[in-house]
Amino acid sequence: SHEHQNGVTRHHFNTGNYTRQPDTPIVDSEFTIFPPPSTVGDQYIGLLHKNEVSFEPLPEIRPRRQGKEISSSRYPPRPAYSTYGVTRRFSIHDWFDEPHFPRDQLQYLQEVGFGWFGQVVEGEAQNINPSERRSKVVVKILREDASPSQLASFLDEVQPYRDLKHPNILQLLSRCLESNPFLLIMEHCTQDMKQFLIEHRHDSELLLKGGQILSMMCDVANALQYMHEHGFISRDLAARNCFVTSSITVKLGDYGTSIQKYKDDYYYLGDIALPVRWCAPETVFCTETTIETKQLTREANV
């Protein structure tokens, strides 16, 4: 059940009056989301389906699955802060009015993982980078049963990577939104910063003395400052959501797979995941039965 009070939507889960759905764990707690979830995406239903033209999607970017199709139960929970809806600057027209990348110039290589939105794969794109004929890319694939509001969140999550051009921020290279499945084509990086630090924990003293650790932290700070200057706030700033390049340069950004990869970094309630342990203290209020998430700020990012 849920109730609205003082601008806060409270979602109650109580074993006394909670009707358990199949395969749903019984939870005796309360989870609060602030501000209330947005329904802004519902306005896009008419836009997406008015005079709709269907295109046969090319198969190269989609993995050749064996057996049954992936069910929704295989998708990780959704980040708590993505349930707020889209940011004020979001416009669906910005995404659909611009040219789309030709699907026949994409080739699937291998699966990377899953996010709440669907699948993430590694691929190759032809002529997406002026300096090379074929480029490795990472493609986020929105599942075809996504609602209009989920589509809006899917696009809004990567808007900083589309709008900001900075050496320490991951880049959205292009997209394919002319037909299902919707694809977002991201800059390719192989290793997140948490993985890098774990693998180099025995070399940490050398990395410290050589200045690499300090340089990496400066890269993150530079990226964050640039985001703040242009009106963006990171929703989950963490080493797992940064990438390290071959030149030990750090890029802030992620593919949406960190919840699947680092399950122990999050607290879960139903289909919502919150990195309680890593949140700024002022962004969460916890009691024995309640977790209330507050609005993110630049100071919380810092």
pLDDT, one tens digit per residue, over 10-64 is 443 333 333 333 343 334 444 444 433 444 444 444 455 555 555 555 444 333 3
Please tell me the predicted confidence (pLDDT) of residue 216.
95
Which pair of tokens denotes residue 3? 């109730």
How many residues comprise the chain? 302
Q: Is the pLDDT assigned to residue 275 strictly greater than 70?
A: yes
- For residues 100 and 177, the answer to whether their CB atoms sit within 8 Å is yes
Helix (H, G, I), strand (E, B) or coil at 17: coil
Return the percentage of the chain with pLDDT > 70, whole number.
73
> What pLDDT, in 10s, does the model give residues 89-145?
778 888 988 788 999 999 999 999 999 999 999 999 999 998 899 999 999 999 999
- For residues 37 and 84, the answer to whether their CB atoms sit within 8 Å is yes
How deeply is 189 buried, as exposed, middle or buried, from its count of CB atoms within 10 A (0-12, 13-18, 19+)? buried
H/E stretch holding 3 reads: strand 2-5
Closest CA to 244 of 221, 275, 266, 212: 212
Q: Which fold has domain 37-265?
A: Phosphorylase Kinase; domain 1 (3.30.200)
Residue 124 DSSP code: E
Please tell me the predicted confidence (pLDDT) of residue 228.
96
Compute the average pLDDT of residues 173-199: 95
Residue 262 DSSP code: -
Compute the average pLDDT of residues 215-242: 95
Q: Is the pLDDT assigned to residue 243 strictly greater than 70?
A: yes
Closest CA to 268 of 252, 285, 291, 238: 291
Compute the average pLDDT of residues 209-235: 94
Please tell me the predicted confidence (pLDDT) of residue 15.
30
Task: Report the alpha-carbon angle 268-273-279, nearest 5.
Answer: 105
285 compared with 6, residue with greater pLDDT? 285
Please tell me the predicted confidence (pLDDT) of residue 83.
59
Residue linked to tokens 């990438």: 243
10 compared with 209, residue with greater pLDDT? 209
CA distances 110 to 66, 113, 119, 125, 181, Å, are: 14, 9, 11, 14, 17
How deeply is 222 buried, as exposed, middle or buried, from its count of CB atoms within 10 A (0-12, 13-18, 19+)? middle
Closest CA to 153 of 78, 206, 72, 241: 78
Rounded to the nearest integer, the mean pLDDT of the chain is 79
Domain ranges of the chain: 37-265
Q: How far apart are alpha carbons 236 and 283 in whole angstroms? A: 11
Active site residues: 236
Q: How far apart are alpha carbons 248 and 110 in whole angstroms? A: 24
Tell whether 140 is in a known binding site: yes
Task: Report the alpha-carbon angle 28-31-35, nearest 5.
Answer: 165
Exposure string over 129-147, b if 16+ CB within 10 A, otherwise e = eeeeeebebbbbbbbeebe
Please tell me the predicted confidence (pLDDT) of residue 100.
87
Which pair of tokens denotes residue 223? 């990226």
Please tell me the predicted confidence (pLDDT) of residue 62.
36
Task: Report the alpha-carbon angle 27-33-34, nearest 5.
Answer: 160
Name the least confident of 1-10, 188-197, 199-208, 239-248: 1-10
